[in-house]
Structure 1
Amino acid sequence: MASTTAAATGGGARGRAAAQSVQAADLPVRKGEDPWSEAELAEVRAGLEEQVARLRAEIAMAESELAERLSDSVEGAGDDSTDTGAKAYQREHDLALAYNTRDLLAQSERAIKRMDAGTYGVCESCGQAIGKARVQAFPRATLCVQCKQREERR
């Protein structure tokens, strides 16, 4: 578990050791696709780790901006209803963006954990390979194209 946590929190020596214990060639691919190479998997992993770091920085910045705006809203106690409404709308918008950023962070961390566990590229719905090209294009994918289409139709 510590290895997975270290990997999800930005790499670390233990995280890299866990990643190396799962061979890239052991990850599933669709029929007709070449097996994963260590370089391809390392590239996807590096992209995810970079994204995790960027998303954490965005969340920290958004939280500090929200805290600053909340302190500013106390000072604006004499605002008219239009100002109050505009501030409330902006706050709700900022909270929605922060929620979306947290969701992307969780998805990225989960993808790294799946790499460490050797389940990266396996569809969570049908258990078949998602497809190397799909996870290279969208590294956080957890469903194959067919299962994703079925989910979106519901």
Structure 2
Amino acid sequence: MRTRKSTAAVPKARVEAGDLAVRPGEDPWTPEEVEEARGELEGEATRLRAEIAQAERALAGLMRDSGDGAGDDQADTGAKNITREHELALASAAHETLTQTEHALERLDAGAYGLCENCGQAIGKARMQAFPRATLCVECKQRQERRH
């Protein structure tokens, strides 16, 4: 049985900006652009963690306040259910976006940022700057959307 070594204590080597993928004709990533992307992703992760914590507190409050529903009419019960479902949907979306954001940071640290996870070609610097969590080039994303 193989065990995985924890990499938490191992400092991550920063990838050189010029080593990140770009499409033909695009200028290489500059250190400032890489740090801007990293800062945006880290800021988004911090914001999402706070949003998730808030949603979890709201859900805990809704669960605590719902009690057994004694004395509630159908409209009250329905409104509470809708509010609870809405909070769950918000928390779920925030969790998904946080997962994507953390994945983008891992790819940035590994030097794979800007490479399509499907075909391995460069996604494009402009696309990465517009949507820093992108994992597919435009062509692969379009193929994926046509299948669904």
Normalised TM-score (structure 1): 0.87
Note the 1:85-124 alignment, pairs <5 A.
85-124=78-117
Contact 2:20–2:113, Cα closer than 8 Å, also in 1: yes
Counterpart of 2:79, as a letter, is: A
Per the alignment, residue 127 of structure 2 pairs with: 134
Whole-angstrom distance in 2 between the partners of 1:100 and 1:19: 31
Count of residue correspondences: 141
Rate the CA distance shift 1:143–1:3 in 2: closer, same or farther, 3 A. farther
3-state DSSP of counterpart to 1:2 = coil
What is the aligned-residue RMSD (CA, Å)?
A: 1.4
Q: Which runs of 4+ in 1 moved over 3 A?
A: none
Task: Give the 5 Å matches for 1:23-62.
Answer: 23-62=16-55
| Cα separation, 2, equivalents of 1:24 and 1:33 | 13
Q: Deviations over 1:101-138 (max 9, x none)?
A: 00000000000000111100000111000000000000
Give 2:61's aligned residue. 68
Query: Which is further off, 83-92 or 142-151?
Result: 83-92
Deviations 1:34-64 (A, max 9, x none): 0000100000000000000000001001101
Which runs of 5 or more residues in structure 1 are unaligned? 5-13
Stretches of structure 2 that go unaligned for 5 or more consecutive residues are 1-6
How high is the sequence identity, in percent, across the aligned residues? 61
**8 A Cα contact 2:29 2:125, kept in partner:** yes
